[in-house]
Structure 1
């Protein structure tokens, strides 16, 4: 797994042994960022951050700041290591919260975010509660975009307060783009 474009292009990111963390594949990551386009000056939030691969890619491509949230201390240690390795630590905030329950505990100085990446463990029914909490806590900027990587078995509910604007399928992965 590596950073595929921008200032940290080519840096290999440390990933865990085993399957507790499922990092985004380069093909999917590339597709997401090709669709999003220019990230210059944006604030991004990487929920269920795992290795930090998505938020680090955003920083490498010009995002101003990235906040990484996970409930796993080992995952957040990986994020810290990867930020340091890519020389992006000065633009990354790492926060340990139990998602989605504690999302409202995110310091208000961090939000609102222009882009929110949501990549929860598959088939754990975390997508809809997370989206509802994002809307309720006003974490997404009014013109912001939410990008969700999820299993085709998990459907986004119509009552989450966001509208699907695009959806792509890559094997057993769906990438959904939503806005207010």
Structure 2
């Protein structure tokens, strides 16, 4: 994967990350990753992250490097889980992480039973299998997002998401080539479904 698989900033800046073998995952490029974290950080002072379609774990590990306290990594593929463990060992972040092999929808149900809330949720499923609005609806229904939290959706520019999904409101979108980053937050009293676009 060339230079796309590395930590960009923070405590572990510059460390290389192993990619998941095969073509089933699509790592977030450095350009998109840098833009994404500039929009939501770029650094953090604690908090819990959820990397739901974790792949190699690159987004969650980047968040930990930039100051997130803990991260839960979820993926349904055995090779992805093995790669996440390898990358967490390499970055010495195992004690700040939980890694589970599970389907995304079932994982959200399991997390809801733990009464946990996240500061950041990364939703970056394979473009061919995206059901982002269903996942956003579940995150809202299970109240998995902390009050000041953000859901980061990475999707193809051909995909148009609803501006309001349950209690979540899209407050920002940005386009990078074929990739769109859509950011959702919990609805507040003064929220509307107007959207500030950066296309």
Same fold (TM over 0.5): yes
Residue aligning to 2:8: 4
CA RMSD of aligned residues (A): 1.5
Correspondence 1:136 to 2:141: yes
**2:46 aligned to which of 41, 46, 54:** 41
Higher relative contact order (CA 8 A, sep 6+): 1
Partner Cα distance (2:101, 2:115) in 1: 14
Preserved CA contact (<8 Å) 2:163 2:170 = no
Correspondence 1:26 to 2:30: yes
Structure 1 alignment gaps of length 5 or more: none
Correspondence 1:103 to 2:108: yes
Structure 2 alignment gaps of length 5 or more: 187-199
Residue aligning to 1:13: 17
TM-score of the two chains, using structure 1 as the length reference: 0.94
Aligned length: 180
SS state at 2:127 partner: coil
Comparing 155-164 and 56-65, the one that deviates more: 155-164
Partner Cα distance (1:56, 1:109) in 2: 22
Q: Which has the higher helix share?
A: 2
Partner Cα distance (1:61, 1:72) in 2: 26
In the TM superposition, what whole-angstrom CA distance separates every residue of 1:25-77 from its partner, at most 9, and x where no partner exists?
Answer: 01111111111123111111001000000000000011000011111121011
